[in-house]
């Protein structure tokens, strides 16, 4: 890994406030067309994602006013300059350029910065007219096969704005991660208010989803987390509609049929605009290939999965034809898992894979318990090398052993599921007790839903240390954070 100094919380605060005013920059030499803006368009911060050995995706979205769908931006393209450097003062710039942020994309701007130094911490920023963005910190991945001794990952999911403050992100930044894995429910589509209020009604069209993403991105804690390191992201259901399948909305939904197809396309398009992804733009139906593979030297392969776009609707959970991944994605995954590679690999996806049915009594039809044959096929393929499955969705921290038959039998993988950043808020005792009871099953080592938080994964060649971090409460900002439990996963998948 790079020997660059670690990012502290103070560093992030400095970076978020940094501007280009005091240092020379190649941006000044770019033929950047002027922009007729009278206010700062960088209200939604900056982000990076999907690092590879010689590149990383850089992202921002221009919005003078983040409370309106079009960001109060002009209905015309806006020129955006960008640069990436080895230092926060931008004295050692390694790449720079400019392109147009288009109104049809909500003035979201993304660039695949290439030909970068491998396995290196870097700084980046954008400029529009007289305005310069906050500075973000990112990094490139080590080369394939390069020896890597450690990697620190934050695993997070489920951040309902209404349910509380995102103190967990403040604590996550303080842990100085190399990567964030976010496994779904980045936004919630519903209307309503609790601790905080969702702007507007329920998101059902492109304007509504863009406004919801903007509201979430306006939060300083989330902006700091995006600015701290690159993210690897997948989605779950609330990015569209609670518990939806591709052609089927939530039970009792007010938007159905062709109108739901249009809603889904708008939601998928808004998600693609809002995330720094190594993936094509959404097509006319909003669809794009989200599943992908990313590597980290000889240490870790990440198989990022899509458990929503191709899944079957309700049906017999033991039907061998039922699929959550779809035939093409499943074939890709099984083939990739059989190819070998790194010391560890991780399946990065949104839904709990462990059998939590208590012997078939309580089946959650949204998670892998409703797709038993496909779960068996995936775990059979995973048995060839030490595998970690990471998940979210259930608003509970979880650590469980996985085998091809679900609970019991040979262990072929270990699952770590993150608690929610805020979803469910400061939960009641009944909900917490129900989820804690999962740990009564032999294959579950840990289950906790009494407090919100995330999981910290420290990956080394011989072990993964899993630390479940929790915040005391989310109903008010600034609550203290602490470690609730910690486990070590050895390469033979024993857990201590």
Distance of CA 340 to the CA centre of its chain: 25
Task: Give the tens place of pLDDT for each residue, 179-196.
Answer: 999 999 999 999 999 999
Instruction: Supply the Cα-derived Rg of the chain in whole angstroms.
Output: 22
Which pLDDT value is given to residue 10? 39
Q: Which CATH architecture has domain 9-139?
A: Sandwich (2.60)
Helices 372-382 & 327-337 angle (0-180, nearest 10)? 20
pLDDT at 428: 81
pLDDT digits (tens, 9 = 90+) for 160-172: 999 999 999 999 9
More reliable by pLDDT, 82 or 314:
82
What is the average pLDDT across 426-438?
Answer: 91
Closest CA to 178 of 123, 235, 217, 121: 121
> Where in the chain are all domains bearing CATH 3.60.21.70?
151-490
Choose among 489, 322, 462: nearest CA to 389: 489
pLDDT in tens, 115-157: 999 999 999 999 999 999 999 999 999 999 999 999 999 999 9
Confidence band for 349, pLDDT divided at 50, 70 and 90: very high
Average pLDDT over residues 288-309: 98
Q: What is the DSSP string of 122-158?
A: EEEEEEETTEEPPPEEEEPPPPTT-----EEEEEE--
Rounded mean pLDDT, 419-430: 93
Instruction: Supply 219's token pair.
Output: 């939060």
Examine the pLDDT at 106 and tell me if it is beyond 90: yes
**Dist CA 234 CA 349 (whole Å):** 7
Segment 324-336 shows an average pLDDT of: 97
Partnered with residue 95 across adjacent β-strands are 84
* Helices 220-228 and 9-17, axial angle in degrees (round to 10): 100
Superfamily classification of domain 151-490: Alkaline phosphatase D (PhoD) (3.60.21.70)
Q: What's the rounded mean pLDDT across residues 195-206?
A: 96
pLDDT digits (tens, 9 = 90+) for 471-490: 999 999 999 999 999 999 99
| Higher-scoring residue by pLDDT: 125, 427 | 125
* CATH 2.60.40.380 location in the chain: 9-139
Lowest mean pLDDT among 190-194, 218-222, 313-317, 353-357: 313-317
Under the banding of pLDDT at 50, 70 and 90, the label for residue 414 is: very high
């Amino acid at each position: 890994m790079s020997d660059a100094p670690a990012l502290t919380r103070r560093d992030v605060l400095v970076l978020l406030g940094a501007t280009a005013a005091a240092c020379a920059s190649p941006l000044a030499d770019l033929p950047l067309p002027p922009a007729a803006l009278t206010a700062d368009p960088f209200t939604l911060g900056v982000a990076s994602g999907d690092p590879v050995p010689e590149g990383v995706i850089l992202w921002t979205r221009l919005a003078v006013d983040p409370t309106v769908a079009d960001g109060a931006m002009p209905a015309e393209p806006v020129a955006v300059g960008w640069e990436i450097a080895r230092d926060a003062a931008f004295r050692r710039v390694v790449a720079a350029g400019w392109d147009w942020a288009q109104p049809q994309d909500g003035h979201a701007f993304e660039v695949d910065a290439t030909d970068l130094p491998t396995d290196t911490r870097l700084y980046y920023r954008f400029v529009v007219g007289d305005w310069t963005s906050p500075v973000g910190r990112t990094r490139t991945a080590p080369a394939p096969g390069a020896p890597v001794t450690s990697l620190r990952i934050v695993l997070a999911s489920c951040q309902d704005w209404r349910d509380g403050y995102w103190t967990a992100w403040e604590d996550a930044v303080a842990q100085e991660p190399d990567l964030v894995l976010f496994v779904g429910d980045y936004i919630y589509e519903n209307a309503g208010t609790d601790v905080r209020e969702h702007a507007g009604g329920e998101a059902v069209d492109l304007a509504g989803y863009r406004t919801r993403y903007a509201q979430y991105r306006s939060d300083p804690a989330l902006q700091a987390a995006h600015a701290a390191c690159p993210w690897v992201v997948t989605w779950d259901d609330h990015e569209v509609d609670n518990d939806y399948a591709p052609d089927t909305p939530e039970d009792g939904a007010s938007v159905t049929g062709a109108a739901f197809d249009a809603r889904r396309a708008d939601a998928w398009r808004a998600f693609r605009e809002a995330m720094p992804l190594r993936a094509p733009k959404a097509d006319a139906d909003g669809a794009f290939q989200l599943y992908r593979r990313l590597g980290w030297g000889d240490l870790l392969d990440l198989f990022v999965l899509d458990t929503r776009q191709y899944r079957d609707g309700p049906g017999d959970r033991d039907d061998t034809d039922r699929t959550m991944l779809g035939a093409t994605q499943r074939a890709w995954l099984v083939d990739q898992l059989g190819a070998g590679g790194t010391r560890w690999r991780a399946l990065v996806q949104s839904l709990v894979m462990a059998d939590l049915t208590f012997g078939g009594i309580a089946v959650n039809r949204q998670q892998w318990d409703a797709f038993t044959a496909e779960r068996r096929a995936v775990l059979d393929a995973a048995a060839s090398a030490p595998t970690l499955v990471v998940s979210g969705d259930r608003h509970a921290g979880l650590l469980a052993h996985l085998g091809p038959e679900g609970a019991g039998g040979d262990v072929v993988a270990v699952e770590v599921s993150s608690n929610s950043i805020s979803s469910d808020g400061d939960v009641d005792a009944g909900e917490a007790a129900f989820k804690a009871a999962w740990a009564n099953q032999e294959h579950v080592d840990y289950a906790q839903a009494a407090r919100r938080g995330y999981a910290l994964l420290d990956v080394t060649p011989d072990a993964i240390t899993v630390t479940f971090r929790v915040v005391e409460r989310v109903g008010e900002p600034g609550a203290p954070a602490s470690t609730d439990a910690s486990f070590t996963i050895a390469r033979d998948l024993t857990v201590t």
